[in-house]
């Protein structure tokens, strides 16, 4: 029974993290383009540079996480800084909005890492075996989806869904209430033991990883390709619904369909992961998403019902696509623990860095390309519209297929 409470307490933290994660990845670029009026290329550059700065810090945050300090304390400190940074990020007051976006997005990303890296690393420490890692990963990701659904519903409940600034403010205020409660539950029920393994210095950790897990290179490549394939549609989603489907009033409903289908599909992926290995489950989820998303390039104005069906189908693969890679990473990180050294924080720091690189590249590539074709949200040309469609739908499919190639090359046997 205690183990069940531990898994629930572990997963609960994902709810407030999702509150702030969703606006950052989906709404923030659109907010600074449409509401603040910043040039789309400058938004892409600012977010790319802040991601790079944040990315460099990830392995060092992981190293701090590996030291004999409770990860829950790091998470608590990171959440406080995160809330302050996010407040300023969504309340730009400087006349130079480029530097405001760069500085406070960097602070928000770095503080988010102080929450997320120790949180991910705990999966490897709390998990007792291969299947226990999967249960913890699914617990985290299902609560992530719950958090996303709540974040999507709140603006509609308060009838402010069409006001981006008010919606962001509401999510911030909700986080102010939820974060302290969840952190308290987390500290009470998560029992960390920092005495069982010896930590290594940063360079020694990297040498050890390179030596013991050289075969994991393919999973790193697959991870960044798949994340990039997911990040590009997330970055362009609001523009796609507004300019291609021309049904911005259905934005929230389409997102809800996507994330709710992920919740519905979760038991299936849990069952499947017990029958076949995680590598095959991940490939299956990616291929299902590819087949479903292949119909998107053929959609046009007012095809929101068909897009909703596609969103439901691609959402089915979401829960596996989120949880399985993290579970595979936990298996790799846990191996270092059984060999006598604790380097899970450093490893997850690098995986977090890879994730952020893909997110940074998604914004940078898409926004720069759109700027080059003369993208103007108020007066869009046929060239810009077709470019948006290619970037949103065709490019992610190609990246996912390439990711499958590298997953198949990954040797999961250690």
**221-246 pLDDT tens trace:** 888 899 899 989 988 998 899 899 99
DSSP state of 198: E
Pick the more confident residue, 320 or 293.
293
User: What integer pLDDT is reported at residue 144 of this predicted model?
Assistant: 82
Q: At which residue do the structure tokens 């992610």 appear?
A: 396
Q: Which of 49-53, 125-129, 258-262, 304-308 has the highest mean pLDDT?
A: 304-308
Q: What is the band of 339 on the pLDDT scale with cuts at 50, 70, 90? A: very low
**What is the C-alpha to C-alpha distance for residues 139 and 161, in angstroms, rounded to an integer?**
29
Q: What is the band of 337 on the pLDDT scale with cuts at 50, 70, 90? A: low
Check residue 341 and give left, alpha or beta (phi > 0: left; psi -120 to 50: alpha): beta
Pick the more confident residue, 7 or 261.
261
Q: What is the band of 214 on the pLDDT scale with cuts at 50, 70, 90? A: low
User: What integer pLDDT is reported at residue 63 of this predicted model?
Assistant: 73
**What is the C-alpha to C-alpha distance for residues 236 and 271, in angstroms, rounded to an integer?**
33
Domains in the chain and their CATH numbers? 2-409 (1.20.1250.20)
Nearest to 270 by CA among 370, 174, 382, 133: 133
Three-class SS of residue 348? helix
Q: In the Cβ-directed half-sphere of 180, how many Cα atoms lie within 13 Å?
A: 5
Q: What is the band of 213 on the pLDDT scale with cuts at 50, 70, 90? A: low
Quickly list DSSP for 88-136. Answer: HHTS--SS-HHHHHHHHHHHHHHHHHHHHHHHHHHHHHH--SHHHHHHH
Instruction: Give kind and range of the element (H or E) at residue 62.
Output: helix 40-66
pLDDT digits (tens, 9 = 90+) for 401-414: 999 998 888 755 44
pLDDT digits (tens, 9 = 90+) for 257-308: 988 888 788 778 878 877 888 888 889 999 999 999 999 999 989 999 999 9
Q: What are phi and psi of 127, to 5 degrees?
A: -70, 135
Nearest to 148 by CA among 296, 26, 28, 270: 26
Pick the more confident residue, 196 or 344.
344
Three-class SS of residue 373? coil
Tokens found for residue 157: 């409940």
pLDDT above 70 coverage of the chain, percent: 83
pLDDT digits (tens, 9 = 90+) for 63-122: 777 666 777 788 888 999 999 999 999 889 877 889 999 999 999 989 988 888 888 777
Instruction: Give kind and range of the element (H or E) at residue 199.
Output: strand 198-199
User: What integer pLDDT is reported at residue 413 of this predicted model?
Assistant: 47
User: Across residues 42-53, what is the average pLDDT?
Assistant: 87
Lowest mean pLDDT among 14-28, 64-78, 199-213, 357-371: 199-213
Residue 391 has pLDDT above 60, yes or no: yes
Q: In the Cβ-directed half-sphere of 253, how many Cα atoms lie within 13 Å?
A: 10
Based on the number of CB atoms within 10 Å of its own CB, is 3 exposed (0-12), middle (13-18) or buried (19 or more)?
exposed
**What is the C-alpha to C-alpha distance for residues 187 and 195, in angstroms, rounded to an integer?**
18
pLDDT digits (tens, 9 = 90+) for 143-198: 887 888 888 788 878 877 667 678 888 888 998 999 889 888 888 877 766 554 55
């Amino acid at each position: 029974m205690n183990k069940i409470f531990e898994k629930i307490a572990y997963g609960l933290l994902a709810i407030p993290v999702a509150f702030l994660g969703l606006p950052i990845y989906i709404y923030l670029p659109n907010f600074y383009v449409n509401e603040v009026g910043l040039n789309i290329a400058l938004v892409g550059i600012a977010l790319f540079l802040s991601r790079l700065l944040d990315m460099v810090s990830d392995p060092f945050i992981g190293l701090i996480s590996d030291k004999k300090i409770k990860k829950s304390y790091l998470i608590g400190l990171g959440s406080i800084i995160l809330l302050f940074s996010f407040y300023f990020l969504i309340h730009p007051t400087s006349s130079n909005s480029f530097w405001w976006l760069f500085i406070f997005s960097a602070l928000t990303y770095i503080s988010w890492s102080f929450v997320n890296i120790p949180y991910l690393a705990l999966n490897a420490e709390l998990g007792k075996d291969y299947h226990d890692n999967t249960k913890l990963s699914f617990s985290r990701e299902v609560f992530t989806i719950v958090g996303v659904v709540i974040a999507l519903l709140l603006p509609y409940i308060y009838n402010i869904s069409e006001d981006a600034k008010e919606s962001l403010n509401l999510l911030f205020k909700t986080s102010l209430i939820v974060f302290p409660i969840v952190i308290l539950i987390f500290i009470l029920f998560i029992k960390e033991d920092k005495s069982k393994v010896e930590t290594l210095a940063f360079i020694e950790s990297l040498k050890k990883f390179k030596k013991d897990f050289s075969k994991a290179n393919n999973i790193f490549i697959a991870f960044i390709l798949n994340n990039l394939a997911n990040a590009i549609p997330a970055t362009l989603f609001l523009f796609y619904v507004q300019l291609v489907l021309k049904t911005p009033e259905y934005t929230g409903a389409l997102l809800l369909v996507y994330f709710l289908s992920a919740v519905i599909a979760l038991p299936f992926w849990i069952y499947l992961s017990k029958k076949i290995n995680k590598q095959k489950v991940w490939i299956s989820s990616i291929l299902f998403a590819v087949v479903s998303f292949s119909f998107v390039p053929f959609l046009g104005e007012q095809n929101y019902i068909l897009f909703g069906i596609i969103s439901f189908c691609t959402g089915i693969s979401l829960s596996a696509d989120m949880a399985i890679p993290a579970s595979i990473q936990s298996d790799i990180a846990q191996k270092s623990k059984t060999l006598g050294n604790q380097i899970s924080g450093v490893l997850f720091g690098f995986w977090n860095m890879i994730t952020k690189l893909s997110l940074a590249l998604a914004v940078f590539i898409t926004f720069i390309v759109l700027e080059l074709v003369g993208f103007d949200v108020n007066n869009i040309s046929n060239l810009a519209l077709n470019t948006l469609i290619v970037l949103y739908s065709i490019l992610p499919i190609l990246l996912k297929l390439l990711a499958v190639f590298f997953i198949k090359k990954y040797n999961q046997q250690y």
